[in-house]
Amino acid sequence: MNLFGKIFSGFRKHEMGIIIALLVGGFFSLMAYYDFFAGYENKFHDLRFMLREIREPEPDDKIMIVAIDDQSLETAKYRWPWPRSVYAKAIDNLSRAGATVIAFDLIFSEPTKEELKIQDRILGDAIIRSRAWIVLASKFYTKKSDRATQTAYVAALPKIDPGKTHVGYVNYWPDDDGIMRHAALLRKHQGKLYQSFVLKILSRFYRVKSPQATLTNKLLTYGPLKISVERGARLIINYRGGPGKFKTISIDNILDNEIFEGLRETGMFKDKIILIGPTFIEAQDIHFTPYSPKFGDLKEAGKTSGVEIHANVLDTIMRGNYIKTLGVLPRTLIFLVLTLLLALVNVHLRPFKALLVLCAMCVLYLSVSFWVFWEYNLILPVVNIILALFITHLGVMVYLLLTEERHSRQIKNIFSRYVSPQVVEQLVKDPRAELKLGGNKQVVTILFSDIRGFTTLSEELSPEAVVELLNEYFQTWTDMIFKYDGTVDKFIGDAIMAIFGAPVAHPDDPLRAVQAALAMQAALMELNTKWAAEGKRMFKIGVGINTGEAIVGNMGSQQAMGYTVIGDAVNLASRLEGKTKDLGAEILISESTYQAVKNKVEAQEHQDITVKGKARAMSVYDVRGLKV
């Protein structure tokens, strides 16, 4: 590939864009795998829930909450904590009402005082005679000492758990910001695998004979249930909304026989999962969820009780309405595809347009991520993707800045010898002009100029004097060519060749060539006057100009090349310059050039002129000046 092909080839931009995209996409995919920026991802997790709340259907009517609330505390005959005979009565009534499972979100781990031990037996007897399945709560807690921090496990007393009950842990572990987003369905402790409160409830509700949980990849098999989970058997809770989304009645209504009988007759408890647990603030079992207000006075009021979180977990599993995340392969593909797309587009754009593309991609991706969640319960990574796109954009822009600066230097170094500074700046600023640099067929105007009698002149003068004279002459010609935005192609002995229309084209390039020739004609008169005063030789020149199609670009080899033009149009311009002496003219132009400038130039036509290399005679024009 020649020099200008290397400078202006899009392949190198594509290549670097691909490298940047693969490096950045792969890096941030790895960051996502290890949950970097998880805190920020969680904010988008919560936002998805907040924006979709009005779209959600009612929760599964198989779940009901019996709340130990502020109302029941105020009307109770006992101080909190209540005697266990209260819960025994709730079991008796709900069992008679046809409940399938009665689950207590309460830890009955401490024995009742000596004089009230009968309370434990009353509750145990109620469990035994219950026609409903009973699920009790256990709990993991942390014990701290001077030496170490240990995790301990506490369950119901044997008297309360006579063997008919099923026990599961009620713990939920919030994320670092204190918000409950996941439910750990399994937990290993001291070599034993424990099942959660919710799993135990489901085992009874679905009559699972051998309630063994099997975890394979991101699927937890539990009896007839196939539960979609994340690493560590963590279920993403698909909340139905903020507090109060499930059917809830106060435990007062269960304990009051008259009220309860009226409720029982409606069949509202039949075949239900009944969750009994505290909802009052003092129980310290209320938690932040994605629906909780994040700031202000409503922050505390927006908490959800533990028993209602259990209801949300149950509802998620029973309806099979699982929230899923992408696996490693599809997630990595998304990172790579998006960063590649951005890089391959932005390597061809200016910074402002590239920034618009970046913003458009980010907005579009965010919109898609919300839509996919609302429609398919699929969570797409957001923060790491946005960061990956931003860093890809930044990397591409830095690369373009560095390469364009290098290209600008190369363009200036190469073309400053051929064209005017104004044309060089246009080449640097205008990428469309850059695309014309190399092997293009286009219409140009070619100018040839030669010194008449140069052989005799060179014989009469010393080599040093000839060089001094030529340098002053060529400098003047170069100034005239640059003045009219032409390109000095080459110096050939005493001759000079110039191009008008490349590398930057103008609609009046033929006129510019003629104007440059006339300007040089006037400048040569001044030079001859100066040389005569200095005792130096004077001379005349001949100029030939032709307009036509030619191949413009770099010619030569990898070791030596030059920017030039070749083609029949070039040959004709050279032949016209040779005819000036025969016709007694100083500036001869071809028919094609004349047609382009005839409204601006005074010229005399010479018909039937034979030019070497042309089979047919032609008309040429002797330029006398510009029309006034």
Q: Is 537 domain-assigned? A: yes
How much is the pLDDT for 147? 65
Distance CA 330, CA 343 (A): 20
Q: Which residue, among 81, 68, 89, 77, has the nearest Cα to 276 in the 3D structure? A: 68
User: Comparing 314-318, 509-513, 562-566, which segment has the lowest mean pLDDT?
Assistant: 562-566
Residue type present at position 119: Q
Distance CA 390, CA 392 (A): 5
- pLDDT of 385 > 50? The answer is yes
Model confidence band, residue 159 (pLDDT cutoffs 50, 70, 90): low
Residue 83, preceding peptide bond in cis (omega within 30° of 0): no
Domain boundary among 318, 353, 379: 318
3-state secondary structure of 544: strand
User: Comparing 53-62, 188-197, 332-341, which segment has the lowest mean pLDDT?
Assistant: 53-62
3-state secondary structure of 601: strand
Structure tokens at 82: 């209540």
Distance CA 122, CA 129 (A): 11
Distance CA 219, CA 202 (A): 16
List residues bridging with 498 in a β-sheet: 447, 488
Q: Is 211 domain-assigned? A: yes
How much is the pLDDT for 416? 59
Q: How many CB atoms lie within 10 A of CB 55?
A: 8
Q: Are 99 and 272 in contact (CB under 8 A)?
A: yes
Distance CA 344, CA 339 (A): 9
Q: Is 422 domain-assigned? A: no
How much is the pLDDT for 437? 46
Q: What is the CATH number of the domain that holds 575?
A: 3.30.70.1230
The secondary structure element, H or E, covering residue 124 is helix 118-129
Domain boundary among 270, 293, 318: 318
- pLDDT of 4 > 60? The answer is no
Q: Classify residue 317 as left (phi > 0), alpha (psi -120 to 50) or beta.
A: alpha
Q: For the chain, give the percent of residues with pLDDT over 70.
A: 85
> Phi and psi of 539, rounded to 5°?
-155, 170
Query: Can you say how many angstroms the Cα of residue 496 is from the centroid of all Cα atoms in its chain?
Result: 54
How much is the pLDDT for 158? 66
Distance CA 376, CA 378 (A): 5
Q: For the chain, give the percent of residues with pLDDT over 90.
A: 49
Residue environment code for 418-443, b if the CB has 16+ CB neighbours within 10 A, otherwise e: bbbeebbeebbeeeebbebbbeeeeb
Q: Are 308 and 243 in contact (CB under 8 A)?
A: yes
How much is the pLDDT for 115? 53
User: Is the same domain home to 441 and 586?
Assistant: yes
* Sign of the CA dihedral running 330, 335, 338, 340: negative
Distance CA 314, CA 621 (A): 97
pLDDT in tens, 265-321: 999 999 999 999 999 888 888 899 998 876 544 455 678 999 999 999 999 999 998
Q: Which residue, among 479, 502, 470, 472, has the nearest Cα to 421 in the 3D structure? A: 479
How much is the pLDDT for 502? 84
Q: How many CB atoms lie within 10 A of CB 444?
A: 26
How much is the pLDDT for 114? 57
> Phi and psi of 214, rounded to 5°?
-120, 120
User: Is the same domain home to 208 and 248?
Assistant: yes
pLDDT in tens, 25-40: 999 999 988 888 888 8
Structure tokens at 178: 């204190």
Distance CA 80, CA 74 (A): 10
Model confidence band, residue 8 (pLDDT cutoffs 50, 70, 90): very low
User: Comparing 26-40, 103-117, 323-337, 505-519, which segment has the lowest mean pLDDT?
Assistant: 103-117
User: Is the same domain home to 441 and 369?
Assistant: no
User: Is the same domain home to 497 and 563?
Assistant: yes
- Between β-strands 182-184 and 192-195, what pairing exists: parallel, antiparallel or unpaired? unpaired
How much is the pLDDT for 81? 84
User: Is the same domain home to 101 and 156?
Assistant: yes
Highest mean pLDDT among 53-67, 100-114, 407-421, 513-527: 513-527
How much is the pLDDT for 558? 61
User: Is the same domain home to 227 and 340?
Assistant: no
Model confidence band, residue 229 (pLDDT cutoffs 50, 70, 90): very high
Q: Is 28 domain-assigned? A: yes
Q: Which residue, among 290, 178, 194, has the nearest Cα to 233 in the 3D structure? A: 194
How much is the pLDDT for 5? 40
Which residues, 6 or more positions from 586, have their beta carbon under 8 angstroms from its beta carbon? 521, 540, 541, 542, 543, 580, 622, 623
Which domain covers residue 25, as residue numbers?
Answer: 3-45+325-411
How much is the pLDDT for 79? 83
Q: Is 209 domain-assigned? A: yes
User: Is the same domain home to 263 and 329?
Assistant: no
User: Is the same domain home to 26 and 90?
Assistant: no
460 compared with 388, residue with greater pLDDT: 388
Distance CA 183, CA 323 (A): 12
User: Is the same domain home to 516 and 610?
Assistant: yes
DSSP letter (8 states) at residue 105: -
- pLDDT of 100 > 90? The answer is yes
Cα distances from 453 to residues 233, 370, 529, in angstroms, run: 98, 83, 18
pLDDT in tens, 584-624: 899 999 999 999 999 999 999 999 888 887 878 899 999 99
- Between β-strands 225-228 and 618-626, what pairing exists: parallel, antiparallel or unpaired? unpaired
Q: Are 296 and 305 in contact (CB under 8 A)?
A: no
Taking every pair of Cα atoms in the chain, the longest distance, rounded to a whole number of angstroms, is: 139
Residue type present at position 117: K
DSSP letter (8 states) at residue 79: P
- Between β-strands 541-556 and 587-589, what pairing exists: parallel, antiparallel or unpaired? parallel
User: Is the same domain home to 193 and 252?
Assistant: yes
Domain boundary among 282, 302, 318: 318
What mean pLDDT is reported for the chain? 85
Distance CA 279, CA 107 (A): 15
Distance CA 90, CA 97 (A): 11
pLDDT in tens, 443-472: 999 999 999 888 888 888 888 888 988 999
509-533 and 463-483 helices cross at what angle (nearest 10)?
140
Model confidence band, residue 232 (pLDDT cutoffs 50, 70, 90): confident
User: Is the same domain home to 169 and 290?
Assistant: yes
Domain count, the chain: 3
Q: Are 334 and 340 in contact (CB under 8 A)?
A: no
DSSP letter (8 states) at residue 270: T
The secondary structure element, H or E, covering residue 258 is helix 257-265
Structure tokens at 389: 């796109």
Start-to-end CA span in the chain (Å) = 49
Structure tokens at 375: 């429609």
How much is the pLDDT for 415? 59
User: Is the same domain home to 191 and 242?
Assistant: yes
Overall average pLDDT of the 58-65 stretch: 80
How much is the pLDDT for 244? 86
List residues bridging with 448 in a β-sheet: 497, 544
Q: Is 421 domain-assigned? A: no
Q: Are 171 and 152 in contact (CB under 8 A)?
A: no
pLDDT in tens, 530-547: 988 988 888 899 999 999
Model confidence band, residue 408 (pLDDT cutoffs 50, 70, 90): low
Q: Is 54 domain-assigned? A: no
Q: Is 9 domain-assigned? A: yes
Model confidence band, residue 398 (pLDDT cutoffs 50, 70, 90): confident
